[in-house]
Amino acid sequence: MQISECSTLAHILHTRAEQQPDRVAFRFLADGELETAKLTYQEIDRLAQTIAALLRQCCSRGDRALLLYQPGLDFIAAFLAAFMQAL
């Protein structure tokens, strides 16, 4: 499947994870220059899916969520999970 055929952000992420699992999707630059963490498409997809499954246990579709995270990749995973949970 082509990325252009994807209809949601979650679908794009999952498609990338299938097609380019080892490619770096996100890098965290602690001071704007120094890379302190990174996640591949496969890693971020799995992490977001895990968080989405937890959200489904305690939240209903359409519920609001407040994401309170320190700067870093955990916020991105939770943000993407919220989109996945809404599907």
Sequential DSSP letters for 17-78: HHH-TTSEEEEEETTSSSEEEEEEHHHHHHHHHHHHHHHHHH--TT--------SSHHHHHH
**Contact between residue 47 and residue 39 where contact means Cβ atoms under 8 Å apart:** yes
Residue 7's contacts (CB-CB under 8 Å, 6 or more residues apart) are: none
The 10s digit of each residue's pLDDT in 43-60 is 999 999 999 999 989 888
The 10s digit of each residue's pLDDT in 54-84 is 998 988 888 888 899 999 999 999 999 988 8
pLDDT given for residue 48 in this prediction? 95
> Structure pTM?
0.83
